[in-house]
A = this chain, B = another copy of it.
Amino acid sequence: MSHKLNQIFSALADPTRRDILMMLLEDDMAVTDIADPFDMSLAAISKHLIVLANAGLIAQERRGRVKWCKLDTEGMNAAFVWIQSFGQLDPINLESLEEFLAKEHLLQQSDLV
C-alpha cells in the first residue's frame, strides 16, 4: 500500500505528468498526440506514461498500432484518500462533515471513506 503511495505521489511530483493527466481529463488520447504539445522526445513522454500507468493514474490499452491512454481513478483516489484521512484541511473539514452526514443519515456509513 505504502509503496503504491510512493509511486503515486512521485508520479504527481512532475509537472509534465500532471499536464498529461489534465489533458486526459478532456478525452482519451494516443501516445503521439499526448507528446505533441511537449518540447520533448516521444521516448521521454512514453516513459512518463509508464510511470503514470505504474502508479495507477492512467490505463493504457493497445488497439492496433495505437496505444490509447485514459485516466484511471484508482491512483488519484488513493492519494485523495490519504490526504483526506490526514485531516487538518482548511477548505472543508471532512472529518466533521462525515460525522455530520452520518448523524443526519444523509449518506450510509459505507458511502464514506
Contact = CB atoms under 8 A, between A and B. Distances in A.
B91 A112 contact: yes
Query: Assembly of this chain: how many copies?
Result: 2
Interface residues of A, number: 40
Interface in A50-70: none
B76 A91 contact: no
B13 A86 contact: no
A13 B8 CA distance: 7
A23 to B, nearest CB: 12
Interface of A: 2-3, 5-6, 8-10, 12-15, 18, 21-22, 25, 71, 73, 76-77, 79-84, 86-92, 94, 97-98, 100, 106, 111-113
25 contacts: A2-B15, A5-B12, A5-B18, A6-B13, A8-B13, A9-B9, A9-B10, A9-B13, A10-B10, A13-B13, A21-B86, A25-B86, A25-B87, A76-B83, A77-B89, A77-B91, A79-B79, A80-B91, A81-B91, A83-B83, A84-B91, A91-B112, A92-B94, A92-B98, A100-B106
